[in-house]
Amino acid sequence: MIEDSTREALFWHRIDGDIKCELCHQQCRIGPGKRGLCGVRENQAGKLMTLVYGNLVAANVDPIEKKPLYHFLPGSLAYSIATVGCNFRCLHCQNADISQLPKENGTITDNYVPPQMVVENANDSGCQSIAYTYTEPTIFFEYAYDVSVLANKTGLKNVFVSNGYIGDKAVEKIMPILDGINIDLKGDEEFYKKVCGARIEPVQNNIRLLWESGVWVEVTTLIIPGYNDSGEKIKGLAEFLASVSTEIPWHVTAFYPTYKMRDIPPTSKAVLRNALKIGTEAGLKYIYAGNVLGESENTICPICGEMLIERVGYRIIKNSVAKAKCPKCSTIVPGVWS
């Protein structure tokens, strides 16, 4: 029931009758009876309430490669969950039907699933992890955290698929039980302001913080023609990642027309190949092309060139990473392998 999903939220304080939400870097100031930018956190009688605790709009069993996470338990399954809502307004959102639902018409779905049931379903489905995905997991943080605590106790791993805009207090709270994360690094500052309604700096800071804290991090950049596909812009993103670590896997993925960008053409293979070249020149060791079959989807040893993991789409054809090393030259291959 919807009543079960409405609970007091974390990370807020009162300011002159309003509420300041500190869950993410939007830092919304929310008046009485109003909601934050995400559309799922509401000022009710001077308290900030989450409207989506346990209120799942999606629960599926996915290959971990779909997240995409290529250096995290390859070939395993992830129990993938989401609620409605998002703290971005990306014009190219692939899941706009659920991420933008509360903002576009105020709708909150009604499908309460207690945290323990998510963990049980994940275990019963043969999954090795729970992925908080499809929409931004930050906006259902209270639920994601409670599920993560239970999952951690049963040996399941926890992974976020995120825009990286999670706030300082929230990221510190989730880090001890977060095993992996894929963060979108969408473009430069102009791109974030124009397309997403956000800023790049908090995303960059979180990529660095999570990597240095030992959470496994992979990064995805959707290459959109005319917006972030120039060599200069791609180079800037690649050089930032390399400044954090050359071992961070970078997924450069093809755009297809969707949502409010239906008039933009799909990304060409030539543009993706150029992004791969730029990333390699920046020093990144593991770069993958996404949303196209047969384009740089295998994991190759950066030292000897041995094929370590062969993929076709989301399927693993071969995995020769043993004890986190290349079997041919013994180079350490970073990731979560067991």
User: SS3 for 60?
Assistant: strand
Helical H segments across the chain, by residue range? 2-5, 96-99, 101-105, 115-124, 141-154, 168-174, 189-191, 201-212, 231-244, 269-281
Asked if 79 contacts 73 with a C-beta cutoff of 8 angstroms, the reply is no
- Contact between 207 and 217 under an 8 Å Cβ cutoff? The reply is yes
Which pLDDT score is estimated for 106?
81
Q: Write down how long the chain is.
A: 338
Q: Has domain 58-319 been given CATH number 3.40.640.10?
A: no
pTM attached to this predicted model? 0.97
From the first residue on, what is the mean pLDDT of each consecutive set of 10 residues in the chain (338 residues)?
A: 84 96 98 97 97 97 98 98 97 95 85 97 98 98 98 98 98 98 98 98 98 98 98 98 98 97 97 97 97 92 97 95 94 96
Residue 188 CA, chain-centre distance (Å), reads: 18
Judged by DSSP in three states, 249 sits in: coil
